Chains A and B, each alone.
Chain A
Amino acid sequence: MKRRHFLKHALFTSTAMLGVPAVDAKRRPHVVVIGGGFGGAMAAKYLRIYSQGQIDVTLIEQHKAFVSCPMSNLVLVGLKPLSYCTQQYDQLARRWGVRILNQHAIKIQAASSRVTLADTSEISYDRLIVSPGVDLQWNLIEGMDHPDAHDVVIDAWQNGADSARLRDQIQALRPGGVVAICIPLAPYRCPSAPYERASLIAWYLQKYKPGATVHVYDANQEITTEKKLYQRFWQQHYKDVLFYHPQNALMGVDIEQKKMHFEFEDAVADVLNIIPPMRAGRIAIDAGLATANGKWCEVDFLNFESVATKNIHILGDSIQIAPLMPKSGHMAAQHGRTCAYAICHNLLNMKAAIAPVYANTCFSFVAQTHAMHVASVHHYSEANKTMEPVKGAGGVSAAPSRDEVPLAFAWADAIWADIFR
């Protein structure tokens, strides 16, 4: 492999970076990445690989470590420790020469090609990659402005540490207690994850909390993915534990009474796992990149450049998705790799056709011993200028099975390694 060779030579030139404007046309190009998740960290690493060290990369990430959302539902029910989902950024720095800034980016100044950090320092870029995940719209749920709201209600939808907090709530559940999961209208991050979560919590309650139940209040008309597989498994295994209520959008919540208000009914629960409506990450919204309904960022799928602002690329859950493209970590990583490839072509003046083809696999556990998947392959359509699923490819499991459990773990190990090591 070429990359061992490239590392010996990887030198980081810092003078052209922090706050210093472009002073020399021949300096190396500098790409700044906001957000070190599946999309951003993948883009940072692959910019270094594809450019063979010719592009300097700075990754701005406010958390010291990465905690994966995929697989984190296993943490909620005690099947894995939080450390299992945790990855470090040190290999990206040491092995691949990515400069990691453990900072919070607060503002994009597109006109001067700079990013402002929380400590008021600025960093300039030739290209900016924005991969901020999602902004949870708590303001759309009445009552969530209560001072104790986020001690009572835990989403565990973007912050790894929250998975441990929600786990503790579930483990402390009283006999016969009730767990509620509220699902927002699609599109939301990770289509299958709420149903996986419901399944695993049902599995846990059945095993450890006799008489306890989990109620799923779904704003959508029906289960949004792998519907038949979930329905069948729930009917066979969780009939007395898991109750599914479609077309129930959460309007408000009474924090003190732990009561949820839906359009036509109210319900109380001991554990309120509310997954709120979501939109593109805040920094992308504030920069005017959310061109689709003010919620999601439209991009050119050949390079993930914003349709609104030149030299700014957006990845992952923040984008306005292409047809049948899930908002998933796996997909975000493919965005990151494609974007890195396209930026290398552009900045290093390399001419080659970019014809992205990528696969997505989302594994879901329905019990400790059973997992299933939905898979798809997507390719670029010149005619429609978007990524489209390849006809005849992809699909779902015939049924959840024991055989898919080791596959799910192998997938996680491989994709985390691909991004972080």
Chain B
Amino acid sequence: MRQWQKLGISLTFFFQINTGWSQSTPIDSAQFLAGACISCHALDKMQTSVIPSLVGMPAASILSDMLDYANDQRDGLLMPQIAKGYTREQMEMIANYFSSLDAF
């Protein structure tokens, strides 16, 4: 019985090490920071929404929009209030993250 258990465990382990994940893959801190945006700005560009998806947008355009909202250079119902909560550095991370994504 113990033999079979051991075999079961080693088989499990065999599959695990072949899933192709390296233990050292870092989690992208920009992905984490940008996660808050996705609650409103959906990742799926195919879904039509009055709140635009940011996926694949040029980083410069996301950043300038965020800065304009934060500095009251651009009107909006929500974003002037939200953008003021982020530093320029955080805005840059978010902008670069979304621009790096491919539409799916």
Contact = CB atoms under 8 A, between A and B. Distances in A.
Nearest to B29: A352
B40 A361 contact: yes
Contacts of A345: 27
A375 B35 contact: no
Interface in B17-35: 19-21, 23-27, 29, 31-33, 35
Give the interface size bracket for A toward B: 35 or more
B81 interface: yes
Give the interface size bracket for B toward A: 35 or more
A359 B23 contact: no
A20 to B, nearest CB: 10
Interface in B74-104: 77-78, 81-86, 90, 101-102, 104
B32 to A, nearest CB: 5
A415 B39 contact: yes
Interface of A: 1, 4, 9-11, 13, 15-16, 23-24, 26-28, 46, 50, 52-54, 330, 333-334, 337, 341, 344-345, 348-350, 352-355, 357-359, 361, 373, 375-379, 390, 392-395, 397, 401, 403-404, 406-407, 410-411, 413-415, 417-418, 421
A365 to B, nearest CB: 15
A377 B86 contact: yes
A373 B83 CA distance: 16
A413 B47 contact: yes
Given A23-B9, A24-B13, A413-B47, A394 B39 contact: no
A116 B38 CA distance: 34
B64 to A, nearest CB: 19
Interface of B: 5, 8-9, 12-13, 15-16, 19-21, 23-27, 29, 31-33, 35-44, 47, 49-51, 77-78, 81-86, 90, 101-102, 104
Q: Chain A: interface secondary structure? A: mixed
Given A15-B9, A54-B21, A333 B85 contact: no
A54 B85 contact: no
Nearest to B39: A415
A403 B51 CA distance: 12
Contacts of B5: 23
B26 A350 contact: yes
A1 B102 contact: yes
A414 B9 contact: no
B57 to A, nearest CB: 15
B27 A50 contact: yes
B85 A414 contact: no
A231 B25 CA distance: 53
Contact of A358 (B12, B36, B44, B84): B36
A13 B15 contact: yes
A407 B101 contact: no
Given A410-B50, A413-B49, A393 B82 contact: yes
A393 B50 CA distance: 23
Contacts of B77: 373, 397, 401, 403-404, 407
Contacts of A390: 84-86
B42 A349 contact: no
A373 B78 contact: yes
Contact of B50 (A52, A354, A358, A407): A407
Contacts of A4: 104
A152 to B, nearest CB: 37
Given A359-B85, A414-B51, A9 B19 contact: yes
24 contacts: A1-B104, A9-B21, A11-B16, A24-B13, A46-B35, A341-B27, A341-B32, A345-B27, A350-B27, A352-B26, A354-B32, A358-B35, A359-B37, A361-B39, A377-B82, A393-B84, A394-B84, A404-B77, A407-B77, A414-B41, A415-B39, A415-B40, A417-B42, A418-B39
Given A54-B21, A361-B78, A397-B77, A377 B84 contact: yes
Nearest to B79: A375
B9 A24 contact: yes
The list of the 5 closest CB pairs from A to B, nearest first, reads A377-B85, A393-B85, A393-B84, A390-B85, A414-B42
Given A13-B16, A50-B32, A375-B82, 6 more contacts: A23-B9, A337-B36, A350-B25, A350-B26, A350-B27, A404-B77
Find the residue from A334, A373, A407 having the highest chain B CB count within 10 A. Answer: A407
Contacts of B25: 52, 54, 350
Nearest to A351: B26
Contacts of B20: 9
Contact of B19 (A11, A358, A376): A11
